[in-house]
Structure 1
Amino acid sequence: MSSPEPQDELAGTEAPFVSHLIELRDRLVKSVIAIGIAFGALAIWPGPGGLYDLLAAPLVHSLPAGATMIATNVISPFLVPLKITLMAGFLLALPIVLYQVWAFVAPGLYNHEKRLVLPLVISSTLLFLIGVAFCYFFVFGQVFKFIQGFAPKSITAAPDIEAYLGFVMTMFIAFGAAFEVPVVVVVLTRMGVVSVEKLREFRGYFIVLAFIIAAILTPPDVVSQLSLAIPMCLLFEVGLIAAKVFIKHTQAPDADASSPSSST
C-alpha cells in the first residue's frame, strides 16, 4: 500500500485576519519604542549638538581656517540636530526593528524559507551600516577635499546646515542601498527570477549600470563616483558567490525522497 502524503509544515498555523492586525500593531509599537529609547539615549549623550558636530566633522575639517557653517532658517539650529538624532536613533534600533519584521513573517514560512530569511535580515542590516560607515569615514573626506581644492580663492565657504543634512541623507541612502547588491542578487536567484549563469553573462552590463547610477546619485566629481561604482561591482561578484551557497542550503525538501518508499 502507498505511504501517506507528507504533512504540510504550516498546517494548523492559520490565524484570523484580526489576529494578524493585532500582532502587526504590537510589532510596530515595539519598533517605535526601540527607536524612542535609542533617540532618548542619544539625546542625553552625546546630545543633538554633539551628534551634529560629529556628522559635520568631515566637512568642517576641509573648510578653510576661520570658515564655519551657517543656518539660514530661524529654527534650523534646533530642528536639524533633532533630525540627526532621530536618524541616528533609527540606525541604532535597526536590528530590533528588523527582528520585529522577522518575527512577524516567520510563522508563515516553511523551515527551508526561514533558513533564507534570517541570514538575509542580518546581512542586509550589516551591509547597509557598512555602506553608511564607508561613506562617512572615507568618501566624505575625499569628496570635500576635492571640492575645496577647486574652489576659487575669492569665495568664502559657508555651507548651510539644512543643505548639508539633505546632502548627507542622500549620500547615506545611496551608499547604504548600493551595498545591498549581494542581497538583491541572492533574492533574485533564490526566487527563480534569474539564474546565476544569466547574471554572470550580465556582468558587463552591470558594470556600465553601476557607473551610471553612481553618476546620478553622487556629486559630479570622480572621487565619489568611483567610490560608489567600484564597491557595487565588487559586491555584485560577492552576490554571485553567495547566491550559489544560499540556493544549495535553502532548497525545499524533496517530498518523494523524504517519504517512505511505497510497498506492495
Structure 2
Amino acid sequence: MNDIVRAVEREPESLISHLVELRTRIVRAGISVLVPFVCLVYWAPEIFRLLARPLMENLPHDGKLIVTDVTGSFFAPMKVTMLVAFIIALPFVLYQLWAFIAPGLYQHEKRLIAPLVCTSYALFLCGMAFAYFVVFPNILRVMAHYNAPLGAAMNTDVDKYLSFAMTMFVAFGVTFEVPVCVVLLVRIGLVTVAQLRANRAYVVVGAFIVAAVVTPPDVFSQLMLAAPLVALYEVGILAARVFVRSRHDKNDSGEPNSLD
C-alpha cells in the first residue's frame, strides 16, 4: 500500500520535471534561432535582395518590386532573415527535440533517429535549393511572358512575393522528404514495397492534385512540382527495397532483428 501511495505522489513530480525539461529545451531552441538572427539582421536587406534575385532577373524592363504596406519594407527582410536563421539553427532545434524524447525510445529507435534527422534536413535543403535555382526562374519567366501580351506592367508587392517564395520553399522542401517517408513507412511495417509499386498510379494522380493546389495555375508550374514528386517516390521505393533486402540479409546471417 505504501508503495502505491509513493508511486502516486511521484507522478506529479515526474510530470513537473518533464514540463521543466520541455521548457528548457524550448528556450534553448529559441536562443539557437535568435543568435543567428541577431548576427544576420544587419544584412537583412541584402538577404532579401538575394531572395528577390530570381524575380528581378525575370521582370521586364519596366517591372518593379513595390511596397503597398507602410511596414512592408521593414518586416519583409526581417521575415526572410528569421527564415534563414531558423534553417541555420534547425539541426540544433531537432537535437533538442531528440534529447527530450530520447529517454522514452528503445535503443534501436535511437539508432534510427540520427540518420533519419540528418537525411531529412539535407533533403529539405535540397528541395529549397531546387525551388530557388530551378523553379523560381522558370515560373517567373513564364509569368512575365503571360503579362507581355496584355501590356500590363509587372509590379509585384514584396509581401506577395515573400508569400509565394515561402509557399514554394515549403512545398518543395516537403516534396523532397518523400523518400524518407517511404522508407520509414516500410521500416515500421505499415506498407510493403509491393504495395508501393501497386499504388504508383494513385501517387501520380495525387502528385498532380497537390501541384495544382500549391503552385500557380499553369501546367508548367504544376509539372515542376509533380514530376520531382513522382521521381522521388520511385527513389523511395528503390531505397526501401535496398533497406528491406539488407535487413533480411542480416536476419538470415543470424543477427537479431532490430524490430524485436
Place the TM-score, normalised by the shorter chain, in its bin: 0.7 to 0.9
SS at match of 1:57: helix
**Number of the residue aligned with 2:210:** 213
Match of 1:74 among 65, 70, 74: 70
**Number of the residue aligned with 1:167:** 164
Letter in 1 for 2:16: V
The answer (yes or no) to whether the contact 2:62–2:153 under 8 Å persists in 1 is no
**Number of the residue aligned with 1:49:** 45
Cα drift, residue 119 of structure 1: 1.1
Match of 1:37 among 7, 32, 35: 35
Match of 2:123 among 114, 122, 127: 127
- Report the Cα distance in structure 2 between the residues aligned to 1:86 and 1:102, rounded to whole angstroms: 23
Percent identity of paired positions between Structure 1 and Structure 2: 47
Deviation string for 1:29-70 (max 9, x for gaps)? 1110110011112113xx111111111110111111242111
- Report the Cα distance in structure 1 between the residues aligned to 2:35 and 2:71, rounded to whole angstroms: 25
- Report the Cα distance in structure 2 between the residues aligned to 1:93 and 1:245, rounded to whole angstroms: 32
SS at match of 2:61: coil
Is residue 191 of structure 1 aligned with residue 188 of structure 2? Answer: yes
Task: Give TM-score, length-normalised by structure 2.
Answer: 0.85
Cα drift, residue 94 of structure 1: 0.9
Q: Which moved more, 1:242-251 or 1:115-124?
A: 242-251
Q: Which has the higher contact order (CA 8 A, sep 6+)?
A: 1
**Number of the residue aligned with 1:136:** 132
**Number of the residue aligned with 2:14:** 16
The answer (yes or no) to whether the contact 1:70–1:161 under 8 Å persists in 2 is yes
Call closer, same or farther: CA 1:120–1:258 in 2, change over 3 Å.
closer
The answer (yes or no) to whether the contact 1:116–1:250 under 8 Å persists in 2 is no
Letter in 2 for 1:138: V
Instruction: Note the 1:180-259 alignment, pairs <5 A.
Output: 180-247=177-244
- Report the Cα distance in structure 1 between the residues aligned to 2:173 and 2:67, rounded to whole angstroms: 28
Cα drift, residue 78 of structure 1: 0.7
- Report the Cα distance in structure 2 between the residues aligned to 1:43 and 1:68, rounded to whole angstroms: 24
Match of 1:27 among 18, 25, 33: 25
Cα drift, residue 249 of structure 1: 6.6
Letter in 2 for 1:182: P
Call closer, same or farther: CA 1:153–1:205 in 2, change over 3 Å.
closer
**Aligned residue pairs, count:** 240
- Report the Cα distance in structure 2 between the residues aligned to 1:107 and 1:29, rounded to whole angstroms: 19
- Report the Cα distance in structure 1 between the residues aligned to 2:196 and 2:245, rounded to whole angstroms: 17
Call closer, same or farther: CA 1:242–1:115 in 2, change over 3 Å.
farther
Match of 1:109 among 105, 125, 128: 105
SS at match of 1:98: helix
Q: Which moved more, 1:180-189 or 1:238-247?
A: 238-247
Call closer, same or farther: CA 1:106–1:62 in 2, change over 3 Å.
same
SS at match of 2:159: helix
Q: Which moved more, 1:71-80 or 1:182-191?
A: 182-191
- Report the Cα distance in structure 2 between the residues aligned to 1:65 and 1:202, rounded to whole angstroms: 47
Task: Give TM-score, length-normalised by structure 1.
Answer: 0.84
Which protein is richer in helix relative to its size?
2
**Number of the residue aligned with 2:4:** none
Unmatched tracts of structure 2, length 5 or more = 1-12
**Number of the residue aligned with 1:156:** 153
